[in-house]
Structure 1
Amino acid sequence: MAVRNPTHRPSGTADLNNPLYYLENMETVVDWVYRHHPDLLTPAEGDRLADFARLTVPARALLTRMVMRSGELFRTDKLHYPELGAPASQALAELAGTGWLDAEPSVSLDDLFRLFTLAELRPVFADTLKGAGAPPSLPKAQMRETLRARFPDARSIEDWLGAGQPGVVKLNTMALFDRIRLMFFGNLRQTWSDFVLVELGHQRYETVPFTPESRAFQHRAEVDLYLTMHQCRQWLDDGLPAREVWPEVPPPSDNAWLASRRDRLLLELGRQAERQGDRELALKALSESSHREARLKQLRLLERMKRFGQAWEIAIAWDAQDLSDAENQGLARILRRLAPKVGGPAPVRTDSPTLRETVLTLPRPEAGSVEHAVQQHLSRPDAPAYYVENTLINGLFGLLCWQTIFAPVPGAFFHPFHVGPADLTREDFVSRRRLALEQAFGYLQDGSYRQRILENYRAKYGISNPFVVWPVLTEDLLEVALDCLPAVDLEKLFRRLLRNIREHRSGLPDLIRFFPNRNDGQKRYELIEVKGPGDRLQDHQIRWLEFFSVEGIPASVCYVRWQDSEAPE
């Protein structure tokens, strides 16, 4: 379907000093969807979006304000927006006259109680409550429950409250705006307010080519599929029994991005079914989900149901796959519990590698963190120490693989304002970019990685990247890190990061200390995890430290005591 541009304006960030900045951003969204997804709109939807541009500025602005708020019903006396430049009543009349609003909607009892205060409602229902034998001072929720059986049907505000009461209007096109929001954001988790107040105007974004081939939605039916799954999740969140939601879950999709959304829906449905005592449904939902968390939950549920043989077969098959450290750890525990019950061989226990530990006694600082105290104590001109935590290794990876991270993979980017790809922590992030990632690792192997990292640092400085924290990653830190960190160690670190980005982006040691002048054959850096008095290592930190020990990456845990303490805390 060919449609003309409804707003005739380029996509860009709004000027937050403009009191109508939110309208600028709404026009950006409408324009983007209109230009990039015209074939996913019906003729009626296309006409409606074209009509949006024909509204006066006050009417467009008021409509945008209402779309940004929750619900579809609004009291006209509560719509106060001085920046419109015209009376709200005038804009409301225009919106009602052009079909955007219903000026006389039917309102249910629940909606009535949501829109009006207790003081406004008590006089209206005083006689009804008296006839029901209820005290006139009932709280609002109890009053509504008392009246529910007597007023099952929706009616107009005038019928509810009588003449002369504040008017109520209803948005007629919220479903269209939800569809637009989905096609722009790629999810319905982000609200219009998120877009206006957070996503725009504060950051610089990488330019990603947006082509028909890179779109997440290729057909209107895929948009409908997403909306169906969103409704299923909403029903679950609202407390509808999982057994009632199950028949509404759509079948699997060939669209990898939508398939991952379905996997998450099935994971949640399985969780809720188990909590509701419907174990068979929980097993069915979890078995159909490819989400990485679903497999462990399925095995644990089978254990609780004493289906040890079935659990063993699934666990053994899964054990042959490439798993993250956390998955390996959880699976090994299950296999050890199952082995004696099925007469199978228990997995061989491997001794945890020894972690190098030091104890440091320091004066208690008047201000600042324990990590900064250790950094200042250890840092010397010939051995500088930096407080980097999760920023350095992630940042080096983000700079080396910048072009791969921002490749126009289908379903990764929906609009011009992404900090990073939408599928970053999805299970298939690596598989869909494997060739490009291996090419990046080739730079580590042939020695050209340093030039590539520095070129990206200088060309991309300040542009948002999910792995790069610019204020921490200074050029001095970058230069010394590239001098002292061997490419072979960087490759080991990066490959582990990619095994589970969600899990492995955190847990890295607090400090890194460099030895630029060392020539004795030892590594010219060390990683240091700092633990203050009473602090303990977390599981994900332990897994990183064990990885360092196995791979020959110098790392230690520094336990800090304060000199003014009588004994270790």
Structure 2
Amino acid sequence: MPLASDQQTHIPGTADLDNPLYYLENFETVVRWVRRFHSDLLTADEIGKVDGLLSLDQPARALLARMVMRTGDLFRVEKFNYPEIGVPVNDAVSALATKGWIEDNPSVPLAELFRLFTLGELRTALANQISAAGLPATAAKGLLKDTLIPLHPDIAPVDLWLPDVSTQVIRLNHMALFDRLRLMFFGNLRQSWSDFVLVELGHQQYEQVPLSAESRAFDKRDDVDRYLVMHHCRERLDQGEAPETVWQDIPTANENAWLESRRGRLLFELGKLAERGGNTELALKAYRLSGHRESRLRQLRLLERLKQHHEAWKIAQAATDEPRFGAEERGLERILTRLAKKLGEALPQQSERPQLTAFTLELDNPDGHSVEWAAMQHLSEPDTPVAYVENTLINGLFGLLCWPALFEPLPGAFFHPFHTGPVDLYREDFVERRQALFDDCLGTLASDNYKTRIRDTWQGKQGIASPFVIWPILSEELLEMALTCIPAQHLERMFRRLLGNLREHRSGFPDLIRFRPDHNDPNRRYEMIEVKGPGDRLQDHQTRWLEFCVDHGIPVSVCYVRWTDR
């Protein structure tokens, strides 16, 4: 169903925390938004439930919202303390039970009782079971759990488990529907109902991006279903279920590139668990189907370990024609070199790499500071200040300069007001879809206009969430020193490399930056320094950034720190 043309006048917001029922208002914002703009992705039964929910009396809706926002679906009524709902809790419970939103006295496994009840209550209620298991009456809760749960695997109503405990336990029904509503609103299940509260409390601010008729996370119900299935598969793996059983429920491939990337990550994680558990056949199958950026290297290393050298050689050779990312390119070189020696093949030609400048410092560190901090303190001078910035400075300057491109309201990029950045940030066509916008932003580097744009964005967007700007670190002093000392040409070269692979290239920058604002050569008024402590070595993604900088005349070096033997 296309979104209504007046959607712009109904952008959801957060409730005022002075309202005691702020959480209900936030909860119903999600429910009403999905009901209005996503009803084509809901079944008639789900729409009926949503409409029934919204027609409940306010106290019942408030209690329902409270339960949805809490962990789990089982609750003790006597533990509820919500005077703001305006009626006795038992009245709201009865109203919800009448409409089928809760189940009274549900059948539960014994494990749930250990979550709901105190040790004292359980010792009294389970006295017979504790005695029959040969445990002392004073046994700790952990021991009781470990012993009794395997002995009593069946489920039973709470009043049968605990006949002498004065309690009322209820189960919230339809949690799957609430997860579905939350998923369709946020586009993921990481964000929770509390995100609204965080916004109102000032813990997070979001860029207000105009929403259009295409501003939805999902266009097909099947895509929502696939997401939920994969999410539950990942939960099962995280809870320790065998990868062999989870494998049976992983959906087959489909044409949705975003969901396929999620499926690839799921298969990659399943493959690692299968490999760890010794099921190498399943691991190889999962890696082959994954498409995850790291899966091919993992597959090749496993084939090497299994001495399937010919198969590994064939895959590695084919992969060199189209490496998935920079680190894979280096990894393939190493694997092909090892395989060539074992198979008697010609050694692959190694790519030429520039020489890196390096120096060594011997430092005293009686207070046990980090190696980066110690090097920064030693190198800093009044006329050559040093800052510990790692990945924050260049990414931050990029994020400030390219803010309009990053937050352009393209279809599929934003679909609610609580995004920290575009959801398609790491998709292959991200830059292509915004090429003209990025060209415009980077075009300002041809004059001093870029400095004005960066300063204006730093001032005007202060504190608003961005995938590239870490506000507490990017101070005005650091910003001004960077704009003074780093040439525009160097920024453009680094920004264009970033755009070549945002996921990979946003990390690996050197730890420190040393400013030399009075240097005669404008290209040498700063230097980026990667710091390595004893026993540490350069990682591939760090080496690639360092080599790129050397190739493009950007001043970088590697500082090796040795601790003074005291």
TM-score by length of 1: 0.85
Check the 8 A contact 1:292/1:427 in 2, yes or no.
Answer: no
Supply the AA of the counterpart residue of 1:236.
L
Q: More displaced, 178-187 or 93-102?
A: 93-102
After TM superposition, list the pairs within 5 Å mapping 1:207-222 onto structure 2.
Answer: 207-222=208-223
Structure 2 match to 1:266: 267
Structure 2 match to 1:241: 242
Check the 8 A contact 1:273/1:282 in 2, yes or no.
Answer: yes
Supply the AA of the counterpart residue of 2:291.
S
SS at match of 1:257: helix
Check the 8 A contact 1:387/1:511 in 2, yes or no.
Answer: yes
| Aligned mates of 1:479, 1:123 — CA distance in 2 | 68
Structure 1 match to 2:106: 105
Measured against aligned partners, the alpha-carbon deviations of 1:356-389 in whole angstroms (never above 9, x if no partner) come to: 23456889899994355246x3342xx5654433
Supply the AA of the counterpart residue of 2:209.
V
| Aligned mates of 1:262, 1:219 — CA distance in 2 | 17
Structure 2 match to 1:370: 374
After TM superposition, list the pairs within 5 Å mapping 1:119-518 onto structure 2.
Answer: 119-127=120-128, 134-135=134-135, 137=137, 139-145=143-149, 147-148=151-152, 152=154, 154-162=155-163, 165-193=166-194, 196-197=197-198, 201-321=202-322, 323-350=324-351, 353-358=354-359, 369-370=373-374, 373-374=377-378, 377-380=380-383, 385-425=386-426, 429-430=430-431, 433-434=434-435, 436-444=437-445, 449-475=450-476, 477-516=478-517, 518=519
Q: Residues 85 and 210 of structure 1: is their aligned pair in 2 closer, same or farther, counting only changes over 3 Å? A: same
- What value does the CA root-mean-square deviation take over the aligned residues? 3.6
Structure 2 match to 1:116: 117
SS at match of 1:378: coil
Check the 8 A contact 1:126/1:136 in 2, yes or no.
Answer: no
Supply the AA of the counterpart residue of 1:550.
D
Check the 8 A contact 1:3/1:38 in 2, yes or no.
Answer: no
Q: Residues 163 and 388 of structure 1: is their aligned pair in 2 closer, same or farther, counting only changes over 3 Å? A: closer
| Aligned mates of 2:329, 2:147 — CA distance in 1 | 55
| Aligned mates of 1:193, 1:461 — CA distance in 2 | 23
Check the 8 A contact 1:270/1:286 in 2, yes or no.
Answer: yes
| Aligned mates of 1:43, 1:146 — CA distance in 2 | 41
Q: Residues 3 and 500 of structure 1: is their aligned pair in 2 closer, same or farther, counting only changes over 3 Å? A: closer
Supply the AA of the counterpart residue of 2:246.
V
Q: Residues 338 and 195 of structure 1: is their aligned pair in 2 closer, same or farther, counting only changes over 3 Å? A: farther
How far apart are residue 110 of structure 1 and its match? 3.4
| Aligned mates of 1:330, 1:320 — CA distance in 2 | 14
How far apart are residue 480 of structure 1 and its match? 4.7
Check the 8 A contact 1:216/1:410 in 2, yes or no.
Answer: no
Q: Residues 28 and 358 of structure 1: is their aligned pair in 2 closer, same or farther, counting only changes over 3 Å? A: same
How far apart are residue 466 of structure 1 and its match? 1.4
Supply the AA of the counterpart residue of 2:293.
R
Structure 1 match to 2:96: 95
After TM superposition, list the pairs within 5 Å mapping 1:47-126 onto structure 2.
Answer: 47-126=48-127
Supply the AA of the counterpart residue of 1:144.
L
SS at match of 1:403: helix
SS at match of 1:272: helix
- How many residues are aligned here? 555
Structure 1 match to 2:39: 38
After TM superposition, list the pairs within 5 Å mapping 1:514-525 onto structure 2.
Answer: 514-516=515-517, 518-520=519-521, 522-525=523-526
| Aligned mates of 1:301, 1:87 — CA distance in 2 | 62
Unaligned runs of 5+ in 1: none
| Aligned mates of 2:310, 2:549 — CA distance in 1 | 36
| Aligned mates of 1:104, 1:304 — CA distance in 2 | 54
| Aligned mates of 1:349, 1:2 — CA distance in 2 | 54
Q: Residues 477 and 301 of structure 1: is their aligned pair in 2 closer, same or farther, counting only changes over 3 Å? A: same
Check the 8 A contact 1:199/1:417 in 2, yes or no.
Answer: no
Supply the AA of the counterpart residue of 2:337.
R
Measured against aligned partners, the alpha-carbon deviations of 1:309-334 in whole angstroms (never above 9, x if no partner) come to: 22122212221225544222222111
Measured against aligned partners, the alpha-carbon deviations of 1:3-23 in whole angstroms (never above 9, x if no partner) come to: 999xx9862233345544333
Check the 8 A contact 2:102/2:172 in 1, yes or no.
Answer: yes
Check the 8 A contact 1:11/1:31 in 2, yes or no.
Answer: no
Check the 8 A contact 1:19/1:83 in 2, yes or no.
Answer: yes
SS at match of 2:61: helix
Structure 1 match to 2:549: 548
How far apart are residue 496 of structure 1 and its match? 2.9
Supply the AA of the counterpart residue of 2:282.
L
TM-score by length of 2: 0.85
Q: More displaced, 63-72 or 444-453?
A: 444-453
Supply the AA of the counterpart residue of 1:37.
H
How far apart are residue 434 of structure 1 and its match? 4.9
| Aligned mates of 2:365, 2:489 — CA distance in 1 | 39
Unaligned runs of 5+ in 2: none
Check the 8 A contact 1:33/1:180 in 2, yes or no.
Answer: yes
How far apart are residue 423 of structure 1 and its match? 3.9
Q: More displaced, 70-79 or 166-175?
A: 70-79
Check the 8 A contact 2:549/2:556 in 1, yes or no.
Answer: yes
